[in-house]
Structure 1
Amino acid sequence: MTTTQLLKATRLLDFEHPALRALINERQWLALSEHDRIGAAYAFVRDEIAFGYNTSDDLPASVVLADGYGQCNTKSTLLMALLRALGIPCRLHGFTIDKVLQKGAVTGWAYLLAPRNILHSWVEVQHEGRWINLEGFILDGQYLRALQQRFADHRGPFLGYGVGTPDLNDPAVDWRCADTYIQRDGINQDFGVFDDPDAFYARCGANLSGPKRWVFERIVRHMMNRNVDRIRRSGSPREAAQRSSLPEMTSK
């Protein structure tokens, strides 16, 4: 895999889309150093794209941006598109996670419908001559802080509610020129690295197909997103005033 391959646009990494270009221009990210360009794109995808469930994993970055929310796979696609638009080589690392990691965020028969092994991915970015794993952008800060408040007395490893980490109170989710993780401890299968998400889904498919996918798109994901919103809104009163900036995730 060459640097050129790791910077190109694809069907899913559609960073020439006007909405992505407008975002980059408005934020003036191209004027930043490489370190800060990575940090800016990372922070945007983590906190301005709320944690939630889109119609499918294999969506173009422009669709994820328009939705305003996403999960591990869709947020990875958006982050990769932004990084490549900013001239930062990146690739995708594909996995599956045990669905127990989703328990709490996903409940009832929505949890029962979910496959035991759920497709998962993170982004690997090339910076200062090495590869850095980025996974800590999946959960937006408000959702994560609500979990930290809910489980304030918990000590040790935590698995559930979209989290798989050795320490819920201090997970490695901030960009500090080092690996970031929030779901790594739920991984149960490693598919290796891919040039882009297009290649990952071409090989591994999507999490659901057929009638299950239809039910998920039209019914189940809305239930899941309402539950995630309830968890997020259970955070501190101080953050309540900020929540109006997060997208409504039940209407699409």
Structure 2
Amino acid sequence: MPTPSPSSSAESVIVTRLRAVGCVFAEDEARLLISTAATPDDLAAMVDRRVGGLPLEHVLGWAEFCGLRIAVDPGVFVPRRRTEFLVRQAAATTATALAGPGAVVVDLCCGSGALGAALAGILDRAELHAADIDPAAVRCARRNVAAVGGRVYEGDLYRPLPATLRGRVDVLLANVPYVPTEEVGLLPPEARIHEARVALDGGADGLDVLRRVTAEAPRWLAPGGSLLVETSERQAARAVETVAGSGLIPRVARSDELYATVVVGTMPAPQ
């Protein structure tokens, strides 16, 4: 029987340690850690942090999202794979609504900036603006949107955006926090402990931030422009009511594969 190479032995040890703390995809994580670490000492420190409960993406310093490698700093919300469905819905909505290039895209509650960066990479010559209230997220997002020429602002929802965007936004992405306050404590420790609470807590019923975003959306959307928000399946009906109440035309898109629900509200064209 051949003697395992040192790298195989090291990987086996790492997999065993990761499995012991409940990492379901220990083999995949071990390979990512090994390929990312610059030195053996770096690898040992990274494995220790992961075993200690730090999210894999925070250990690596990046997350894969829509085929992109998105920088994710400690404490910043990690983009979820299910949210790729929101980006796909936004791209399809834009293709239907616009005849040519140059869509104006706003990414609110942008976190790492993953949604805006991914959508701007799909669209032709998009003008991207993003905003978040968390300074750590803003610093991270600025790195991620630089390649597509995006701008990131620090502040509460629409407040830091340039007033010149009012009535011009074709796509308004808002991956708002939608976990009800009483349920935040039930989240996995990776989220509950290591991600900013402002990125998770959506208020008593999880829809507080969604209501604020939706209430102001008609002032910013261009005719035919759309607001897209992610929510849970059980919140979708109330989210639709909120969107309709603001004067937008609502619809719901669902992905069973990704367990994702997106509510879309479109600004009616003037009669």
Q: Calculate the TM-score normalised by the size of structure 2.
A: 0.27
- Larger RCO (CA within 8 A; separation ≥ 6): 1
Q: Calculate the TM-score normalised by the size of structure 1.
A: 0.28
